Amino acid sequence: MPLLTGAMGCRRYRVLNQPESIPRDEWLSALHEHRFREPPSSARGGENLGWVSLQNLCVTEFTHEGCFFNQYFAWSFRIDNKKLPGKLLAALLDLRIQDWLAETGRERIPARVKGEIKEQLELELFPRQLPSVAAHDIAWDLKEETIRIFTNSAKVNESFRILFSQSFGLETRAIGPVDLVAEHRNADAWMTRVDVIGHSDYRPPEA
């Protein structure tokens, strides 16, 4: 949990049209509505994501004491991704195909049959496979109307922004290095220096 351990790698966003009155109970309910849920079947792979507690990625109960810290609203974004080892799946599939060819006496296997064998194999293997699990801490500064997510992964950031919008009905705009310089009290002096040395902006273009 980087937010609690002191790691500072993050991306920042401006929360657009944040209400003046903070509906804390409603926002806790929004977290609960979009909380992380275990998939309905363990025999399927893919990505599964949702909100979890800041203190423990297995907890999906959100309380005032566990989420609000002075001007900050904090929780975590959990993403599970279950995949089968590609080489193992290919090797086992090859053995099943060889067995099918031996039983039928045919030289080639139809694509439809191969697909059915692969699907059956995945149904057998996925329940035995644990997903990769990641949790990314989030800190919403309600006073400054900014939000930080403690990961620099572009894919995770995009997934976060989509779920954040779905949960709270608010949009976010990425804050780049130039924005941070421009908002500083020494902006007049610093901006000319930034222009001299050149700069790049990681933010995606606005839609």
Kindly list the distances between the CA atom of residue 51 and the CA atoms of 9, 17, 58, in Å, as whole numbers in the listed order. Answer: 20, 22, 10
Beta bridge partners of 74: 139
Dihedral Cα 141, 142, 145, 146, nearest 10 deg? 20
Residue 88, pLDDT score: 94
Are 39 and 74 within one domain? yes
Are 188 and 198 within one domain? yes
Residue 66, pLDDT score: 96
Mean pLDDT of 124-132: 92
Q: What is the 3-state secondary structure (H, E, C) of 35-64?
A: ECCCCCCCCCCEEEEEEECCCCCCCCCCCH
Residue 110, pLDDT score: 94
Residue 69's domain comprises 2-82+133-175
Are 34 and 76 within one domain? yes
Q: Which residues contact 142 (CB under 8 A, 6 or more apart)?
A: 18, 22, 71, 72, 73
**Residue 196 predicted with pLDDT over 70:** no
Are 76 and 28 within one domain? yes
Are 166 and 204 within one domain? no
Are 57 and 34 within one domain? yes
Q: What number of CA atoms fall less than 13 Å from residue 100's CA on the CB side?
A: 18
Structure token pair of residue 155: 């894919």
Report phi then psi at 126, rounded to 5.
-60, -40
Q: Which residues contact 148 (CB under 8 A, 6 or more apart)?
A: 10, 11, 12, 13, 138, 139, 140, 141
Are 156 and 187 within one domain? no
**Average model confidence (pLDDT) across the chain:** 87
Q: How many domains does the chain have?
A: 3
192 falls in which pLDDT band (50, 70, 90)?
A: low
Residue 36's identity, in one-letter code, is F
Lowest mean pLDDT among 37-46, 104-113, 167-176: 37-46
Between 34 and 20, residue with greater pLDDT: 34
The 10s digit of each residue's pLDDT in 136-161 is 999 999 999 999 999 999 999 999 99
Are 50 and 108 within one domain? no
How far apart (Å, rounded) are the C-alpha atoms in residues 149 and 84?
29
Beta bridge partners of 52: 76
Are 180 and 170 within one domain? no
Contact 60, 143 (CB under 8 A): no
CA geometry: angle at 112 spanning 109 and 115, to 5°? 95
204 falls in which pLDDT band (50, 70, 90)?
A: low
Residue 15, pLDDT score: 96
Are 123 and 78 within one domain? no
Are 13 and 66 within one domain? yes
Are 118 and 191 within one domain? no
